Structure 1
Amino acid sequence: MSVPPRAVQLNEANAFLKEHPEVLYVDLLIADMNGVVRGKRIERTSLHKVYEKGINLPASLFALDINGSTVESTGLGLDIGDADRICYPIPDTLSNEPWQKRPTAQLLMTMHELEGEPFFADPREVLRQVVSKFDELGLTICAAFELEFYLIDQENVNGRPQPPRSPISGKRPHSTQVYLIDDLDEYVDCLQDILEGAKEQGIPADAIVKESAPAQFEVNLHHVADPMKACDYAVLLKRLIKNIAYDHEMDTTFMAKPYPGQAGNGLHVHISVLDKDGRNIFTSEDPEQNAALRHAIGGVLETLPASMAFLCPNVNSYRRFGAQFYVPNSPCWGLDNRTVALRVPTGTPDAVRLEHRVAGADANPYLLMAAVLAGVHHGLTNKVEPNEPVEGNSYEQNEQSLPNNLRDALRELDDSEILARYIDPKYIDIFVACKESELEEFEHSISDLEYNWYLHTV
């Protein structure tokens, strides 16, 4: 991936600064392995230099665990002297941060080697490598995310989250009624500011719906014919939601399963594939008879077990699964069926697409997209036939067969010959090393439940 010409980049910076003379600072952002946004804040006078020469950040940024500590077994830390790489702006991501009291802008970055080549361990580059395989076939991916989250109180109780008090009624919500408009009204100012902030930042979010748990909501993003841009939008949307909620004296969580007995937070992705003339190759009056659609489904289902570590990358991710919460636990598909891993919406023939329903909101969007598209490409190029579509409740027809814990998911990923053809094995090694390090720390901790069960009983 070549860096855009300096003149093009400088024109972007000049136009923005001219339009926004009030901007004092610019946040330079880059998403790490966990999708956590990191970076630097600069004064506006330094923006031209960033567009001309980039900024230096250590390669170890992509070897950080969920707590921000470098995992040395990745080889990206002390083994290379914690050396820098160079980060360049991603075009068309310069925008205002509407929540800031001091006028501040933001700009997404991506990491490169000092010689200019993309840095292999940047998750955005991981995705670009997969997308390039579709470019070779003359195909374009059209994608969109649906992102679920909870509004929570800024103060935890005994270390546990709780729903925030309604700004209108002053009460904490207890409703589990999905799509309930009254619950949208309870938090209308915050939710409307999220949509307006998204519009100001050029993020194509057009709808918020109430989900099936207290103070849980979902934001829908428009389809865009650029899967990397779709992921950029998802990363920026999470940051926007967090900051807007905080302005309204609330907090948010994208944790996969913050409450026992309530629905978890998912990150569904919708995907269609366009040919060189812009036509959706999944278009069909009868989707079951569309060979391209069947093969794409077959490839995604075949690679699903090995993809689970990218879709569900944390220990908590696997607590989200359960039939009552519409989280599929087996590689299956169906038409207009929300109990399956791959749902095929069939509204109109040209809108036929895949809805991937497995990942949690704690997934890194770039790695999630890379895993799903690897499956799609594998299926299309190898003409992989899927199993029969499921009609009715898939939980009653299919036993749980996907990895149900992080350790098993990491083993599946590490052993996958198919994913290793799409995702650099060096990157898989780094990802597995980071997650195994987190898992080891988790397994050596002692939970409150263990003290309650065993301290005085054994």
Structure 2
Amino acid sequence: MTSPSGSTPAEATAFLAAHPEIEAFDIVLVDANGIGRGKIIRRHELMPLFEGGRHMPISILGLDITGEDVHETGLIWDSGDGDLRAWPIPGTLVPLHGTQPPRGQVMLSMYHLDGAPMTSDPRHALERQVQAFADKGLHPAGAFELEFFLLANERDGDGKVQPARAVLDGRHSGKTEVYSVDHLHGMEPLFSDIYAAAKLQDIPVETVISEYAPGQYELTLHYRKGILRAADDLVMLKRLVRMQARRHGVTACFMAKPIEKYAGSGMHLHVSLQDDAGTNLFSEKAGEKWAPSLLHAIGGLGATMAESMLVFAPHANSWRRFVAQSYAPVAPTWGVNNRSVALRVPAGDIKARRIEHRPSGVDANPYLVAATVLAGVGKGLEERLDPGPETTGNGYEADNAASSMPIDWRDAIEAARGSDFLKTALGEDLHRTFVAIKHAEYLRVARTVSELDYHLYLHEV
């Protein structure tokens, strides 16, 4: 049958001819948690994948963070755990850098056996939102920022994670080396491999920054005209950063808050909207302070933020990131050139006017984040929502609607469960799948007796 994803056997034929050295391929499907699940296939299996897809169990999209079945998703025994068919995502067949023997990688998306999209696949949720804008002659563009930690493989004497030593010479620094170029030199061999790997995969990685915590870094990505490809970029970049870090003897950590006394890691999404002629609808015209479309989009994102927080902060650890004065937003505020708000309009050229959506942690699924953000933008435009007054100065001290935000992970799960907006943004099937998986994860954490329990209560109560 013809691939419903748009992939063609010609792509595989050309790739195999260009890379006779490659012996195997990682085939990767991204689940609701953003985890890549799949198989490693041999070279001779690539053509059949592109010609007829690959059978995969439906349950692969109903797993918790550990890979255990979540029966409440309805994707396990309710369907007999039958096979569906995964198809390659066009443009994601790429070589992997530094593997021995040489391997490649291709990302997959899940479909029913008749070719209909499997609606619990997160990428399809984003595709559906992109298509809804396209039907109106509008085209979202964007790029993600990737913050992460490079940690030592060994814990410290207290069992805590610690920043990795420089891979160049083993030098240790426990300081916040924010924006230190010299500090980056110690990780130069690793980042050189990251850039080489990204070039092979056509991922437009640009600036590297030493961020606001020991061992924390940021990679920026060039703006994409298609936001679906921007989400693919982020998924693939996280995989290659993790792989190259491991090859250099350190751990790339994408937890939102791995070190309690320092800032956590965000995954900011920059988004704008173009019409068929390529005009940026968020750019103000002569005589306007701000474009009405920009303000309505911000209004929609602010109005839907509280019920969407489970998408932006999906794990127990995610909620440790939201601390005042930490560069993580704590309320649905907006402002201009202000990093203390949730929705920031960056300074810069009017032609590049965009919204920086700042609530998401790096542990969030970029497909779900982008789908939810687009749905919020769409709601704001359709209903012409007013974003309220701009926040100036310290957004952490602003008089705002912080009380309307979920106070913790459990509150966010319940807000998401009852959200008609989120059902529309993700689709009812994926909404059910995602909330069920998060609730199962919450129960796992809630019943676990941690070391903190012993520290607080063992000899005191």
Shorter-chain TM-score above 0.5: yes
1:175-254 equivalences in 2 (<5 Å): 175-254=175-254
The Cα offsets for residues 415-442 of structure 1, whole Å up to 9 and x where unpaired, read as 2222323322232121111111110111
CA distance, structure 2, for counterparts of residue 254 and residue 288 of structure 1: 38
Q: Which residue of 1 aligns with 2:174?
A: 174
Deviation at 1:128, TM superposition (A): 1.2
CA distance, structure 2, for counterparts of residue 213 and residue 142 of structure 1: 30
CA distance, structure 1, for counterparts of residue 194 and residue 130 of structure 2: 30
Aligned: 1:416 with 2:415 = no
Q: Which residue of 1 aligns with 2:390?
A: 389
CA contact (8 A) 2:31 2:61 kept: yes
SS at match of 1:324: coil
What amino acid does structure 1 have at the position aligned with 2:426?
Answer: I
CA distance, structure 2, for counterparts of residue 124 and residue 167 of structure 1: 35
1:202-351 equivalences in 2 (<5 Å): 202-284=202-284, 288-351=289-352
CA distance, structure 2, for counterparts of residue 5 and residue 142 of structure 1: 20
Identity of aligned residues (%): 41
Q: Which residue of 1 aligns with 2:143?
A: 144
Deviation at 1:177, TM superposition (A): 3.2
Q: Which residue of 2 aligns with 1:441?
A: 444
Aligned: 1:430 with 2:436 = no
Q: Which residue of 1 aligns with 2:36?
A: 37
Deviation at 1:167, TM superposition (A): 3.0
Deviation at 1:410, TM superposition (A): 1.4
CA distance, structure 2, for counterparts of residue 88 and residue 224 of structure 1: 23
CA distance, structure 1, for counterparts of residue 98 and residue 236 of structure 2: 13
What amino acid does structure 2 have at the position aligned with 1:321?
Answer: F
Provide the alpha-carbon RMSD of the alignment.
1.5
Deviation at 1:4, TM superposition (A): 5.5
SS at match of 2:426: coil
Aligned: 1:457 with 2:456 = no
CA contact (8 A) 1:140 1:273 kept: yes
Deviation at 1:289, TM superposition (A): 3.0
CA contact (8 A) 1:60 1:70 kept: yes
CA contact (8 A) 2:147 2:216 kept: yes
CA distance, structure 2, for counterparts of residue 231 and residue 13 of structure 1: 22
Q: Which residue of 2 aligns with 1:133?
A: 132
CA distance, structure 2, for counterparts of residue 327 and residue 304 of structure 1: 14
SS at match of 2:176: coil
The Cα offsets for residues 298-342 of structure 1, whole Å up to 9 and x where unpaired, read as 001001011100000001000001122111110110011110000
Q: Which residue of 1 aligns with 2:24?
A: 25
Deviation at 1:98, TM superposition (A): 0.4
CA distance, structure 1, for counterparts of residue 193 and residue 5 of structure 2: 36
The Cα offsets for residues 339-395 of structure 1, whole Å up to 9 and x where unpaired, read as 000000131110110000110000000001111111000011111111111110010
Moved over 4 A (4+): 285-288
CA contact (8 A) 2:332 2:342 kept: yes
Q: Which residue of 1 aligns with 2:80?
A: 81
The Cα offsets for residues 138-192 of structure 1, whole Å up to 9 and x where unpaired, read as 0001010001000011223465321112234533221213211111011111112
Aligned: 1:123 with 2:126 = no
Q: Which residue of 2 aligns with 1:72?
A: 71
Moved more, 277-286 or 190-199: 277-286
What amino acid does structure 1 have at the position aligned with 2:167?
Answer: P
CA distance, structure 2, for counterparts of residue 160 and residue 450 of structure 1: 16
Moved more, 426-435 or 11-20: 426-435
SS at match of 2:142: strand
CA distance, structure 2, for counterparts of residue 314 and residue 106 of structure 1: 28
Moved more, 120-129 or 277-286: 277-286
Unpaired stretches in structure 1, ≥5 consecutive residues: none
Deviation at 1:5, TM superposition (A): 8.8
CA contact (8 A) 1:152 1:163 kept: yes
Moved more, 388-397 or 284-293: 284-293
Deviation at 1:287, TM superposition (A): 6.9
TM-score between the two structures when normalised by the length of structure 1: 0.97
Aligned: 1:398 with 2:399 = yes
CA distance, structure 1, for counterparts of residue 385 and residue 46 of structure 2: 48
CA distance, structure 2, for counterparts of residue 377 and residue 23 of structure 1: 44
What amino acid does structure 2 have at the position aligned with 1:358?
Answer: P
CA distance, structure 2, for counterparts of residue 212 and residue 304 of structure 1: 25
Count of aligned pairs: 456
CA distance, structure 2, for counterparts of residue 13 and residue 296 of structure 1: 40
Q: 1:73 to 1:431 in 2, by over 3 A?
A: same
CA distance, structure 1, for counterparts of residue 196 and residue 167 of structure 2: 19
SS at match of 2:268: strand
TM-score between the two structures when normalised by the length of structure 2: 0.96
CA contact (8 A) 1:330 1:398 kept: no
